[in-house]
Amino acid sequence: MSNYFVHKSSYVDDNVKIGDNTRIWHFCHVQKGADIGSNCSIGQNVNISNNVKIGNGVKIQNNVSVYEGVEIEDDVFCGPSMVFTNDLTPRAKYPKGSANYKKTLIRHGATIGANATVVCGHTLGEWCTIAAGAVVTKNVKAHALMAGVPAKQIGWVCECGQVLKDSLACPDCDRKYSLINDELREV
């Protein structure tokens, strides 16, 4: 007996793992070999490609395709219509196949805003925030706030999501941070 919900308009291929309390909404396709954790919310019109791994507590909003080669750790938020890629030099006439896809890792707690693009082959650090519409073309540090095209770091964010001021103390949850070798560490 399954302890998850799949809307009747969605398709789930054979050989897929879906964790307890996960909800898959309208017009989605989960392809073979996908592994989706517990307590996830997969919005309308989402495609989860072959062999994709998604952790627990992940929220993927409407109109997102998670392509093969992308791995998403726990508690990640993917905003509406954000884009993942898996091939830096695609050609319809010369497909490379899954063995040649560039790997992308989205670390625990990261947030990717609406309409942002994550170019393949990069890692987004824990608790980072990618602003809406940003285009990520390089690795992102943990807790970094990234914006623009191409995305550049414009600040730091707390684990709770609040943008940090120069004091690096969160006004919402009272966490305090310090910069050590240009990396944000909680103290």
Q: Is the pTM of this model over 0.85?
A: yes
The answer to whether residues 24 and 47 touch, using CB atoms and an 8 Å cutoff, is no
CA distance readout (Å), 94 to 49, 100, 104 = 20, 12, 22
Q: Parallel, antiparallel, or unpaired: how do β-strands 65-66 and 177-180 relate?
A: unpaired
**How many angstroms separate the CA atoms of 155 and 141, rounded?**
11
Same fold: 1-66 with 67-89+100-187: yes
3.40.50.2300, 3.40.190.10, 2.160.10.10, 1.10.357.10: CATH of 1-66: 2.160.10.10
Token pair in block for residue 110: 């990261």
pLDDT at 1: 56
CATH fold for domain 67-89+100-187? UDP N-Acetylglucosamine Acyltransferase; domain 1 (2.160.10)
The answer to whether residues 61 and 78 touch, using CB atoms and an 8 Å cutoff, is yes
pLDDT at 2: 74
Q: Where are the domains of the chain?
A: 1-66, 67-89+100-187
The answer to whether residues 27 and 10 touch, using CB atoms and an 8 Å cutoff, is yes
**How many angstroms separate the CA atoms of 63 and 49, rounded?**
13
Per-block mean pLDDT, blocks of 10 residues, the chain (187 long): 91 98 98 98 98 98 98 99 96 93 98 98 98 98 98 98 97 97 96
pLDDT at 180: 95
